[in-house]
């Protein structure tokens, strides 16, 4: 941004804008702040009549309750495996389709695009029962790969649609120039387009990651007897039971649950941003 | 109909690679060796120590079986059990609540154990557990244990308020609770959606949750009797700070009670143990009395909760599974359960197993007035959406009570008749 | 954009300049030189590339959908799920669903639910995106990180937090409202009153959805050369005029995409409603997905649930048909 001398009138004029910005930040961040704060608060403070907005004393007891709960790391790892598998799979499959749609001419392309769009409307909650029956009849119950496949399908349509629009944003002339320079088409794609597409791939994978990381209904229905294959959301629900809706531990577990996504965001965000900026100097 | 997935090579390869590391350690001992029996027990139904004792003892007696006891969460348990019953490799023994067992028994997914009733001495089973497990004369659910709610009170707070003896009648109960509800002390902590307690009050007034008229069920929360039951609940609920829109689990009432400024709470006697665990300073300071009735001498009607055990038809080891059921329902482990958890044993002839402590005495006194929820396989579906809880909150927060009662009754009728 | 200053937080969806923003449409793309590979005729490549997607959609979506359709035409309850042997029922389930007054009440409510949420999300999201554009670097980073925080927090976690924020006894919201002088909110049970519960859910869903819209629109805006705005301003165009004649047209394609995605997501929204109210009180927050779930899973009438789901999909496709048509036309132009 261009440095502008800050005159008092200017500051005054921008006051509503900054108030709005602060309000937006506060509204967005408060629930997350409250979650993390509660996770660190002693139980007595959590149940205080007047909410304590700043910590008076902090405790790790809720975190140790959450982490020491039976199998926390196992479920955490299960979730990570399923989620990562679904994201990679969806990216690989979607990249091919997005390329075909954005770069090639072929008969049936419109129909294909329409199919992908309509696939986004799929009523997944309603497909629980048919999915269960199919998984049972194919001996796919109680297995993590089944979940990977289901999540892959849930995220695939959106991944294709977004990758396609990323691809159309990259001028095909770049590839063609590389081909003129003697590259094969595949090499041109790999060397020229793919690097430019990297931020798009990352941004898209974030969506897939969040979706799969959150999913509860299928994980609860398709993993039945093999309790060691449960995922984190299913486990997280275990904090609400007859004698123990323990807000402290629930918030600690929620914090740990949100952590990978938040980290991924912070790490990738910079690369996505720089990638976009890099794409801007495409020349 | 059998159709295979036709995953592409990429799909298959990727998912195999990614999950290869996970599938190794997760196998629960299916390799050769002894049979592994999976047993599902509900969360907080019995203590870990009891289960460990049982597991060790059972495995000693049956060298060829290994028990894998899995604790199940209440959330979404109906769907989970349905999924288990429908699967090809089901758990071998499942604990099921007595209000839920009928629907599973009816589904055809549960093993018929009628020929074992004599061996299990089913003649004096508690009817509140045995009947829901029975469909068309066949016994599918085997009674395990029962429990009913009593009032747990804080003796110190009672003494400070000058209350010397537990109340004998409901009027007296209201009077002393009002006396206790002073300053920082809550007379009673009664969340607005403790519908088991409301059911007791309704029965005490002569009302019902639902009545069967010919072939049709009809929700009965709008009857004058049921309305009187709700009135009493409202008067009692006002004598404390229980949230009007929540049940005893949110927040956990044991935790609230453990803070020490609540004079009374309604729970199963075993709840006292959780309170003492949360606040050891209260150990020995908790008293019990049956929920008072309208007249002195007879405790109020109360809901009998409890569990049955079922064996899924899809169990791979039905015979071994039966051995587990036989042990759990047999005298030795029933007596242990009564001692450990203060539960009422599944057979009336074992009632002497209940130790002479105040909690179980109060429970035993109330058990005589024990009642069950309407005997319909669809009742579990009513609990799943629970219009009763909504009705209670509506009344307590000042909505039109006639309309709320009518709406809830209609919802119950609709579900029971579908 | 002039200097390629790294823009922290330009995340998420691209900048689908798709059709409109391409200044010089690439020359008729027909005779793309069939690249290096000689083994395959070029015309086969597209089909190979889409094959995994087609297979996936067929096996993992179309087939389950077909099974769902089949179930909706059968008598299918708990017993049939466990033992099999379901009988054909024709259109009976559809008749039962469509003849149920409750179903139509729920449908109406779902349309309201979608309309209210989507309008709020799009208006607030656009406002925040425009605000971001005018903010200084530091403030923008602050707001963006707030948005990212809200967006990245898993639904399950934030839903739990909201339940707690709005809980009647120790909830922060009631405490705050009482402090502000609204005494009637002392121990107010939000989830016990239909409209209040509905409001809580709208707030939750809007809170969860705005970041996506704001961040996406913001990153679309940043692709607009600032010179465009500058020159417009020099020409004496006012703020509203700039918005109307520059910002809006530039945003239109991405706006359409975001709008349709939000319609789909809000309409299908299930987990939040189920976790917070379970569809209550008195059905005041029961939308179509919740209704289908209740019928299927609580009442074990999988057949009715399947029928309700089929009807739901048809309604959603009908609602989006305009968007599909427009997209179709764009595809044709490509």
Q: Which residue of C has its CA nearest to A237?
A: C156
Q: Which of A93, A145, A247 sits opposite B10 (nearest CB)?
A: A93
Q: Which residue of B has its CA nearest to C291?
A: B385
Residue B364 clears pLDDT 50, i.e. is over it: yes
Task: Indicate the CATH number for domain C91-226+254-333.
Answer: 1.10.3720.10
pLDDT value for C224: 67
* Residue whose token pair is 């809580």: C200
Which residues pair with residue B68 across a beta bridge?
Answer: B38
User: pLDDT exceeding 70 applies to what percent of chain B?
Assistant: 91
DSSP string, B372-406: -----TTHHHHHHH-HHHHHHHHHHTT--HHHHHH
pLDDT digits (tens, 9 = 90+) for A145-158: 999 999 999 999 98
Q: Which residue of A has its CA nearest to B91?
A: A225
Q: Nearest-CA neighbor of A116 among A100, A132, A129?
A: A100
Alpha carbon distances (Å) from A130 to A133, A234, C70, C76, C81: 5, 20, 9, 11, 10
pLDDT value for C243: 78
Per-residue exposure over A123-132, b if at least 16 CB sit within 10 Å of its own CB, e if not = bbbbbbbbbb
Q: Which residue of A has its CA nearest to C31?
A: A105
Alpha carbon distances (Å) from A260 to A202, A263, C236: 15, 5, 49
Q: Which of A148, A228, A237 sits opposite B73 (nearest CB)?
A: A237
Instruction: Please report, for chain A, how many H helices and E strands are present, in that order.
Output: 14, 0
- What phi-psi label fits residue B33: left (phi over 0), alpha (psi between -120 and 50 degrees) or beta? left
Residue B377 clears pLDDT 90, i.e. is over it: no
CA of B123 to nearest chain A CA: how many angstroms apart?
A: 32
pLDDT digits (tens, 9 = 90+) for A231-277: 888 777 665 543 345 678 878 888 888 888 878 777 776 555 444 33
Q: At what angle do helices B387-396 and B401-417 cross, to 10 degrees?
A: 180
Alpha-carbon Rg for chain B, nearest whole angstrom, is: 23
Mean local confidence (pLDDT), B223-252: 87
What does the alpha-carbon distance between residue C96 and residue C311 come to, in Å, rounded to a whole number? 12
Provide ipTM, 2 decimals. Answer: 0.81
Chains near C with 3+ CB pairs less than 8 A apart are: A, B
**Beta-strand (E) ranges in A48-200?**
none
pLDDT value for B28: 41
- Which of the four pLDDT bands, split at 50, 70 and 90, describes residue B3? very low
- Which of the four pLDDT bands, split at 50, 70 and 90, describes residue C328? low
Is any Cβ of chain A less than 8 angstroms from the Cβ of B75?
Answer: yes
pLDDT value for A283: 22
Q: Is the full-model pTM beyond 0.90?
A: no
Residue scoring higher pLDDT (B358 or B177): B177
Chain A / chain B CB contacts < 8 angstroms: 126
Residue B312's φ and ψ, nearest 5 degrees, are -60, 145
Is any Cβ of chain B less than 8 angstroms from the Cβ of C79?
Answer: yes
Contacts of C302 in chain A (CB under 8 A): 129
pLDDT digits (tens, 9 = 90+) for B306-315: 899 999 999 9
List the end-to-end C-alpha distance of chain A, in Å, as a whole number: 22
* Residue whose token pair is 């044991």: B254
CB contact (8 A) between residue C154 and residue A21: no
Q: Which residue of B has its CA nearest to C274?
A: B385
Per-residue exposure over C248-277, b if at least 16 CB sit within 10 Å of its own CB, e if not = eebbebbbbbbbbbbbbbbbbbbbbbbbbb
pLDDT value for B391: 92
pLDDT value for C30: 40
pLDDT value for B214: 85
Which residues pair with residue C88 across a beta bridge?
Answer: C74
pLDDT value for A24: 93
CATH class for the region spanning B149-304+376-417: alpha beta
CB contact (8 A) between residue A141 and residue B26: no
Q: Which residue of A has its CA nearest to B28?
A: A226
Residue scoring higher pLDDT (C254 or A106): A106
CA of B391 to nearest chain C CA: how many angstroms apart?
A: 8
CB contact (8 A) between residue B19 and residue A149: no
List the end-to-end C-alpha distance of chain C, in Å, as a whole number: 26
Type and span of the H or E element at B147: strand B142-148
CB contact (8 A) between residue B83 and residue A238: no
Alpha-carbon dihedral angle through residues A12, A16, A22, A24, given to the nearest 10 degrees: -160
Mean local confidence (pLDDT), C114-127: 95
CB contact (8 A) between residue B18 and residue A224: no
Contacts of A148 in chain B (CB under 8 A): 15, 18-19
Q: Which residue of C has its CA nearest to B191?
A: C169
CB contact (8 A) between residue B7 and residue C55: yes
Q: Which of C79, C190, C301 sits opposite B418 (nearest CB)?
A: C301
pLDDT value for B147: 86
Q: Which residues contact B243 (CB under 8 A, 6 or more apart)?
A: B191, B192, B250, C167, C168, C169, C187, C189
pLDDT digits (tens, 9 = 90+) for B125-156: 888 888 888 888 899 999 999 888 889 999 99
Residue A278 clears pLDDT 50, i.e. is over it: no
CA of A53 to nearest chain B CA: how many angstroms apart?
A: 20
Q: Which fold has domain B33-147+305-361?
A: D-Maltodextrin-Binding Protein; domain 2 (3.40.190)
User: pLDDT exceeding 90 applies to what percent of chain B?
Assistant: 36
pLDDT value for B54: 95
Q: Are C216 and C254 in contact (CB under 8 A)?
A: yes
CB contact (8 A) between residue A17 and residue C131: yes
Between positions 190 and 209 of B, the ones with CB within 8 A of C are 192
pLDDT value for C276: 82
| Residue-range domains of chain A with CATH | 73-280 (1.10.3720.10)
- Which of the four pLDDT bands, split at 50, 70 and 90, describes residue B6? very low
Is any Cβ of chain C less than 8 angstroms from the Cβ of B185?
Answer: no
Per-domain boundaries in chain B: 33-147+305-361, 149-304+376-417
Q: Which of B30-34, B170-174, B273-277 is predicted with the least confidence, judged by mean pLDDT?
A: B30-34
Q: Which of B15, B38, B73 sits opposite A145 (nearest CB)?
A: B15
Is there a shared CATH topology between the B33-147+305-361 domain and the B149-304+376-417 domain? Answer: yes
- Which of the four pLDDT bands, split at 50, 70 and 90, describes residue A104? confident
- Which of the four pLDDT bands, split at 50, 70 and 90, describes residue C317? confident
- Which of the four pLDDT bands, split at 50, 70 and 90, describes residue C31? very low
pLDDT digits (tens, 9 = 90+) for B13-54: 444 444 443 333 333 444 456 789 999 998 777 888 899 999
Q: Nearest-CA neighbor of B117 among B145, B138, B96, B95?
A: B138
Residue C17 clears pLDDT 50, i.e. is over it: no
């Amino acid at each position: 941004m261009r440095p502008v001398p800050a005159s008092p009138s200017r500051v005054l004029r921008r006051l509503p804008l900054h108030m709005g910005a602060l309000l937006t930040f506060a509204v967005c961040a408060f629930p997350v702040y409250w979650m993390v704060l509660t996770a660190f608060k002693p139980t007595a403070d959590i149940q205080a009549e007047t909410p304590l907005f700043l910590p008076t004393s902090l405790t790790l007891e809720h975190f140790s309750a959450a982490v020491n709960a039976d199998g926390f790391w196992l479920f955490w790892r299960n979730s990570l495996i399923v989620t990562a598998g679904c994201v990679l799979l969806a990216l690989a499959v979607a990249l091919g389709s997005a390329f075909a749609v954005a770069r090639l001419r072929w008969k049936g392309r419109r129909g294909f695009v329409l199919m992908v769009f309509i696939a986004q409307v799929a009523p997944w909650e309603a497909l629980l029962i048919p999915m269960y029956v199919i998984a049972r009849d194919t001996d796919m119950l109680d297995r993590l790969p089944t979940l990977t496949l289901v999540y892959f399908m849930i995220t695939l349509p959106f991944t294709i649609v977004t990758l396609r629009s990323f691809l159309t944003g990259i001028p095909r002339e770049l590839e063609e120039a590389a081909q003129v320079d003697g590259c094969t088409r595949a090499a041109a794609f790999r060397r020229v387009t793919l690097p430019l597409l990297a931020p798009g791939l990352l941004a898209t994978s974030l969506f897939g990651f969040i979706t799969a990381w959150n999913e509860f209904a299928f994980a609860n229905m398709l993993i039945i007897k093999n309790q060691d294959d449960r995922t984190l959301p299913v486990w997280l629900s275990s904090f609400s039971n007859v004698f123990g809706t323990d807000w402290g531990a629930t918030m600690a577990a929620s914090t740990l649950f949100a952590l990978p996504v938040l980290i991924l965001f912070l790490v990738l965000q910079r690369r996505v941003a720089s990638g976009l900026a890099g794409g801007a100097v495409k020349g | 109909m059998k159709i295979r997935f036709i995953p592409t090579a990429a799909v298959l390869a990727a998912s195999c690679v990614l999950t290869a590391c996970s599938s190794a350690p997760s196998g629960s001992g299916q390799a050769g060796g002894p049979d592994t029996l999976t047993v599902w027990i509900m969360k907080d139904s019995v203590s870990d120590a009891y289960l460990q004792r049982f597991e060790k003892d059972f495995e000693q007696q049956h060298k060829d079986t290994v028990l894998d006891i899995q604790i199940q969460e209440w959330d979404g348990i109906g769907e989970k059990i349905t999924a288990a019953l429908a699967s090809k490799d089901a758990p071998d023994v499942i604990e099921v609540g007595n209000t839920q067992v009928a629907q599973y028994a009816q589904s055809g997914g549960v093993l018929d154990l009628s020929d074992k009733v004599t061996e299990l001495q089913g003649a004096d089973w508690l009817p509140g557990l045995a009947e829901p497990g029975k469909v068309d004369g066949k016994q599918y659910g085997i009674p395990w244990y029962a429990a009913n709610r009593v009032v747990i009170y804080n003796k110190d707070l009672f003494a400070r308020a000058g209350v010397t003896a537990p109340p004998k009648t409901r009027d007296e109960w209201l009077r002393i609770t009002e006396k206790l509800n002073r300053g920082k002390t809550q007379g009673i902590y009664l969340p607005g959606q403790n519908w088991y307690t409301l059911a007791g009050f309704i029965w005490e007034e002569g009302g019902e949750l639902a009545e069967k008229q010919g072939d049709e069920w009809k929700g009965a929360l709008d009857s004058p009797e049921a309305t009187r039951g709700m009135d009493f609940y409202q008067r009692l609920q006002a004598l404390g700070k229980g949230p009007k829109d929540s049940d005893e689990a949110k927040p956990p009432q044991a935790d609230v009670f453990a803070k020490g400024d609540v004079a009374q709470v309604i729970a199963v006697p075993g709840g006292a143990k959780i309170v003492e665990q949360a606040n050891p300073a209260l150990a020995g300071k908790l008293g019990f009395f049956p929920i008072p009735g309208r007249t002195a001498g007879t405790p109020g009607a109360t809901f009998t909760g409890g569990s049955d055990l079922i064996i899924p038809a899809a169990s791979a080891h039905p015979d071994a599974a039966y051995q587990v059921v036989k042990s759990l329902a047999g005298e030795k482990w029933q007596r242990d359960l009564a001692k450990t958890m203060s539960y009422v044993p599944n057979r009336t002839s074992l009632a002497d197993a209940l130790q002479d402590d105040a909690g179980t005495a109060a429970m035993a006194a109330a058990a005589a007035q024990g009642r069950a929820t309407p005997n319909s396989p669809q009742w579990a579906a009513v609990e799943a959406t629970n219009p009763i809880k909504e009705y209670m909150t509506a009344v307590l927060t000042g909505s039109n009570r006639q309309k709320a009662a009518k709406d809830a009754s209609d919802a119950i009728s609709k579900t029971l008749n579908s | 954009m002039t200097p390629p200053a790294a823009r922290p937080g330009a995340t998420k969806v691209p900048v689908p300049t798709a059709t409109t923003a391409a200044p010089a449409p690439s020359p008729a793309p027909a005779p793309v030189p069939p690249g290096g590979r000689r083994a395959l005729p070029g015309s086969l490549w597209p089909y190979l590339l889409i094959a995994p997607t087609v297979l996936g959609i067929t096996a993992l979506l179309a087939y389950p959908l077909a099974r769902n359709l089949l179930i909706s035409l059968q008598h299918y309850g708990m017993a049939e799920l466990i033992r099999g042997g379901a009988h054909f029922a024709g259109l009976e389930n559809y008749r039962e669903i469509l003849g149920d007054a409750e179903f139509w009440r729920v449908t109406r409510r779902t349309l309201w639910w979608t309309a209210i949420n989507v309008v709020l999300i799009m208006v607030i999201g656009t406002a925040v995106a425009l605000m971001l554009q005018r903010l200084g670097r530091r403030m923008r980073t602050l707001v963006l990180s707030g948005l990212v925080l809200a967006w990245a927090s898993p639904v399950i976690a934030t839903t739990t937090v909201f339940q707690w924020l709005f809980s009647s006894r120790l909830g922060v919201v009631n405490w705050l409202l009482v402090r502000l002088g609204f005494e009637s909110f002392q121990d107010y049970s939000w989830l016990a009153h239909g409209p209040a519960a509905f409001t809580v859910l709208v707030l939750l869903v809007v809170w969860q959805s705005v970041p996506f819209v704001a961040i996406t629109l913001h990153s679309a805006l940043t692709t607009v050369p600032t010179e465009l705005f500058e020159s417009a301003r020099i020409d004496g165009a006012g703020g509203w005029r700039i918005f109307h004649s520059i910002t809006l047209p530039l945003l239109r394609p991405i706006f359409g995409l975001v709008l349709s995605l939000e319609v789909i997501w809000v309409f299908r929204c299930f987990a939040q409603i189920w976790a917070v109210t379970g569809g209550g009180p008195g059905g005041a927050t029961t939308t179509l997905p919740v209704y289908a779930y209740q019928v299927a899973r609580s009442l074990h009438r999988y057949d009715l649930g399947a029928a309700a789901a089929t009807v739901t999909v048809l309604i959603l496709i009908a609602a989006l048909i305009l968007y599909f048509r427009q997209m179709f036309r764009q595809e044709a132009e490509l």
